Every structure is written in C-alpha cells, then in structure tokens.
C-alpha cells in the first residue's frame, strides 16, 4: 500500500510542464555525458568552428547543419593547401574529425585496419548495429571483393538487357508526344532493376514488390542516419529501435519475395557440391557467391535463407543509393550544359561508333573501356557533383591511438580521420576552372594519345600509364568519389559499366529537352540532399525500335 501511495503522489505531482522539464534535463544531461566520452585531440591541431570546449561544442552542434560546408572550406584553404591537418566540428552524435591533408593520404590509407579501421568508421556513419537488421556487412563485402570483378565481364549482357527493359518502361516508346517524368524517380526505376540482375538474377530483378522494398530500405538507412546524427549516442539505444522498425518491415517484405528463390538455390547448390547433380550451373549473382563462399569457408550458419537475405541488404543499399545519386547528377550536369558545347552529340556519336566497331549489339568490357568521352563525362560529374563532403573516413581502433609522423599530433582511440573530397575536387590548383562542368576534361588527352599511336608515334610506357589513370574507376589522392587505397569501392567497375550503358541507351533512343540551369543541391551538415523534384521532358527518337 505504501508503494502505491507514493506512486500515486508522484503521478499527481507530474504535471505536463514538469514532464517537459524532466525530458529537457535528461536530454541536456545526455549531451553532456556524450561530450565527456568523446576523444580529445592534440592542442597542436588547429580548429575551425567554435572550438572544442563545452560551450564551443554546443555552438558547433547548433550550427552544424548549416555551417559545416563553410567550416570545411575554411579549413581547406587555411590548412590543407599548406599541408597541415585541422579539426572540423561534427554532428552531436559524433566526435569532431581530423581532416588529413592530401600530402598525407598515403600515411592515412596504408595504416593496418587494427590501427585505423575503415569498417568501423563506415559502421558508425551508417549506425549499422541498428540499421541492418542484426547482421554486419563483413561477410557480404568480403564476398563482393572476391567475386564481382572476376565475374563482371560475363554479367554485362544481362545488365544491358535490364537497362533496356527498365528505360523503355519508364521513358515509354511514344515518338510523337513529349512525356514529363521525375528524373530522380526514373533513376529509382532503372538502377534497382539493373543492379539486381547481378544480385539476385531474373526473374526477381524485375519483381516490383521486391525492388520497392529494397529502395524503401535504402531510403530508411539514409533517413535514419541523418536523424541519428542529431542525437547523443547515449540515447541511441533508446530511440534507434523505434526508428529502425521500418528497416525490419522493408527487409521482411523483400525476404518473402526472395525466400523461394534462395531456398531453391541452396538445394540446387547442395546437390551440385555433394555430387548428386554436378552438371548444375547456378546463375552468377550475389546469392550464388554468398552460398559458394559459405561452403568454401565451412560456415554452415551462413547457409540459411534468412541470413542470406539479410546479407544482401548492405550491398543493395550501397548499390542503389550511390548509383542513383551519381546517375541523377550526371544527367543534370549534361542536360543543363549549353547545347552549343556539343556534349550530347559527341557522346551519342562515340557510343554508336564503338558499339558498331565491336560487331555486336551487346557491350563487352573491352568495348566499354573505349568510351573515352562517355567515361570522362561521368568522371567529371562525380568530381563536381558531390554526394557528401567526404567519403573516406577512418576510426582509430588501436587502444594506444596513433601519432602522425609528419606533424607530430596524436589521435586517441575512437578518433575519426577523413580526407576532404569536396575541397580536393574543387581545388583550382588541381582542376582548372573547377566549378564548371567540363564533360571532356579527361577524355581529350586520351583521344589525342590514341590518335598519335595510330599515326605510329613511339610507345612510352610512363605516358601510357598516366593516360590510363584518367579513367573514372582509377582512384587517386586527387580523385576520391570511390575513396582510395585498398578499401576503395569494389563496386565501382559495375557502376561505371551501368552508367555508360544507361547513357548510351538514353541518348541513342530518346530526345530530352535541355534544362535552363542545373538545380541547386542543399547541404545538410556534411551530406548533400539532391534536387529530387526535377522533371524532364522526354520523347522516343523516331526510327528506333
């Protein structure tokens, strides 16, 4: 009775005003606790923003959403261009980050994972412990590294089939009337279908409910990551499970569509491996690779339909989100460029000529590699149109931290280091006239070199190597959309092939009205929100099938 009386008295005393005050006090206390847990950086490192004391940190949190790009720009000009690192404020849930100068890229990326971890940095950025329905992405990423590049040449014809089917459905075949379509939604119709030809093969790659679930899952990961950035980490165990309910729902929907296929593939591959049906040849896709890898590593726990479907999620997220953004920016850059520059006509001519010279109606790895102008147009868009301020992050995993040999500063355990993508890509010392989209910035030299070789110019191995490095999939300290080093994106070769074939098919088969100007993007902290409401006018070109 005494306990009940005390409870009733407490409830009577708990007015709405007091409840709000308690919640506010608890939230403020959580931010303070979070602040005390975060790593402290060497005083020798210069800062931008409002400093790293408690008051300065609170100001940084308050202004992070709107001022992060200007802070990063300030640090790049003051410090990075002089070869010095600096500290930039971060969102409330994350420690400040040390921005490492380009001259120290090798030092940063050559550190072993036990000292500087790319995987831990990525997991923290995406809040993977909450978002990917209880599975980490290590096995999935390892499987992609071991299989994608090796099997990609044989996958290109299938990807081309899906590209043509998806674009025809979305753009239509009316040669008389213009059709208005939302560009971003168009990419969300093209990329999931084409990418899933590699992930789950047909017919599932054309299953609308499966694809919609994967797109919704990717959207949920992006949305939740932005939301979680604004919470103190001490509160995430309380709030994150509520927000990720949508992730579980979308995964469940996709699993129910994929379940029968995965179970049948498991049975068929078990019969093949056991010798019952040695002639069976499974489709070369991510599902097959996961099963094959599980047998190779003797990981029986991985031979489970539920687990396999969950292993697909980080691959689906990475492939859908990044490629849609890249493709969306590419068409915005091209169709907002002055038509007098002739970019579209030149790419249309090149793609038609190279495919005709190959003697086939299907692209190959070799023929796609000869699309210098098309490759350059995509690379230039990736250089100019960012998805985030930085895509190369490392978390200090070593308990003792790490000391920078060049400058002497120390980064403790739990600290974050990054390379500034946007600053590098818009540096006039690296790229003349860096704020202008110059579609053939990288192809002119390649075409001139090839022409000189045809005329009998002497071979120069050093020059040839330099020319080959101009391709969009070749990363460097000056070109970072796929990161750099041993952790560079393993899917970038598939992305390159997809975007080239998509651009080829659209330009050969459709007319698109130019855009008067490129729509503005919006920065939200370190992330870019694309202009998703852009509509374009399209019409099928006469004389095409």
How many angstroms separate the Cα of 335 from the Cα of each of 254, 301, 338, 339, 405? 35, 49, 8, 8, 47
Distance in angstroms (rounded) separating the CA atoms of residues 115 and 398: 5
- List the end-to-end C-alpha distance of the chain, in Å, as a whole number: 83
**Please, which residues have CB within 8 angstroms of residue 165's CB and are 6 or more apart in sequence?**
193, 206
Distance in angstroms (rounded) separating the CA atoms of residues 325 and 218: 12
In terms of Cα–Cα distance, which of 143, 200, 222 is closest to 387? 222
Residue ranges of the chain with pLDDT lower than 70?
1-36, 453-464, 545
Distance in angstroms (rounded) separating the CA atoms of residues 283 and 281: 7
Structure tokens at 187: 């990419």
**What's the whole-model pTM score?**
0.91
Question: Would you say domain 131-386+431-477+481-540 falls under CATH 1.10.630.10?
Answer: yes
Say if residues 181 and 170 touch (Cβ distance below 8 Å): yes
Ranges of each domain in the chain: 131-386+431-477+481-540
- Is 489 annotated as contributing to ligand binding? yes
Structure tokens at 101: 């100068």
Output the pLDDT for position 10.
47
Tens of pLDDT, residues 295-344 = 999 999 999 999 999 999 999 999 998 999 999 999 999 999 999 999 99
Tens of pLDDT, residues 471-528 = 899 999 999 999 999 899 999 999 999 999 999 999 999 999 999 999 988 899 999 9
In terms of Cα–Cα distance, which of 535, 467, 184 is closest to 330? 184
ω into 49 cis (within 30 of 0): no
Output the pLDDT for position 423.
96
Say if residues 521 and 329 touch (Cβ distance below 8 Å): no
Output the pLDDT for position 32.
65
Q: Which residue(s) pair with 97 in the sheet?
A: 88, 416
Provide the 10 A C-beta neighbour count for residue 115.
Answer: 14
Output the pLDDT for position 53.
76
Distance in angstroms (rounded) separating the CA atoms of residues 471 and 8: 71
Ranges of H-type helices in 385-436: 421-425
């Amino acid at each position: 009775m005494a306990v009940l009386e005390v409870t009733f008295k407490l409830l009577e005393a708990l007015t709405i005003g007091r409840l709000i005050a308690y919640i506010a006090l608890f939230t403020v206390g959580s931010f303070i606790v979070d602040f005390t847990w975060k790593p402290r950086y060497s005083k020798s490192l210069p800062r931008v923003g409002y400093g790293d004391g408690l008051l300065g940190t609170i100001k940084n949190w308050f202004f992070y959403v709107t001022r992060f790009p200007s802070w990063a720009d300030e640090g790049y000009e003051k410090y990075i261009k002089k070869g010095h690192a600096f500290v930039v404020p971060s969102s409330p849930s994350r420690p400040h980050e040390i921005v490492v100068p380009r001259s120290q890229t090798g030092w940063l990326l050559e550190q072993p994972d036990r000292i500087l971890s790319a995987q831990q940095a990525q997991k923290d950025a995406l809040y993977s412990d909450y978002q990917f329905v209880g599975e980490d992405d290590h096995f999935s990423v390892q499987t992609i590294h071991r299989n994608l590049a090796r099997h990609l040449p044989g996958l290109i014809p299938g990807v081309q089939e899906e590209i043509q089917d998806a674009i025809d459905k979305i753009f239509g075949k009316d040669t008389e009337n213009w059709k208005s379509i939302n560009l971003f939604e168009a990419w969300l119709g093209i990329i999931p279908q084409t990418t899933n030809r590699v992930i789950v093969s047909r017919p599932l790659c054309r299953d609308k409910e499966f694809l919609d679930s994967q797109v919704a899952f990717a959207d949920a990961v992006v949305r939740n990551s932005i939301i979680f950035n604004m919470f103190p980490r001490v509160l995430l165990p309380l709030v994150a499970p509520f927000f990720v309910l949508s992730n579980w729902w979308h995964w469940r929907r996709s699993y129910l569509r994929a379940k029968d296929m995965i179970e049948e593939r498991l049975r068929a591959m078990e019969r093949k491996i056991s010798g019952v049906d040695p002639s069976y040849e499974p489709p070369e896709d991510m599902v097959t690779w996961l099963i094959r890898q599980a047998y190779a590593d003797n990981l029986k726990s991985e031979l489970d339909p539920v687990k396999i479907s969950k292993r697909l999620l980080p691959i689906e997220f990475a492939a859908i989100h990044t490629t849609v953004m890249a493709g969306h920016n590419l068409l915005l850059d091209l169709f907002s460029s002055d038509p007098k520059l002739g970019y579209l006509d030149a790419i249309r001519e090149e793609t038609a000529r190279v495919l005709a010279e190959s003697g086939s109606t299907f692209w190959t790895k070799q023929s796609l590699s000869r699309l210098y102008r098309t490759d350059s147009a995509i690379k230039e868009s990736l250089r100019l149109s960012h998805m985030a301020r930085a895509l190369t992050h490392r978390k200090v995993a070593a308990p003792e931290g790490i000391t920078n040999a060049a400058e002497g500063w120390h980064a403790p355990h739990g600290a974050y280091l990054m390379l500034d993508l946007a600053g590098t890509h818009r540096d006039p010392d690296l790229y003349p006239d860096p704020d202008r989209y110059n579609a053939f910035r990288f192809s002119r030299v390649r075409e001139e070199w090839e022409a000189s070789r045809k005329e009998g110019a002497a071979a120069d191995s050093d020059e040839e190597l330099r020319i080959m490095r101009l391709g969009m999939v070749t990363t460097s300290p000056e070109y970072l959309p796929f990161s750099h080093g041993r952790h560079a994106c393993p899917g970038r070769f598939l992305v390159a092939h997809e975007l080239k074939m998509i651009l080829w098919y659209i330009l050969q088969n459709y007319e698109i009205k130019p855009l008067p100007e490129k729509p503005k993007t919006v920065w939200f902290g370190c992330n870019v929100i694309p202009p998703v409401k852009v509509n374009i006018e399209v019409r099928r070109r006469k004389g095409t099938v």
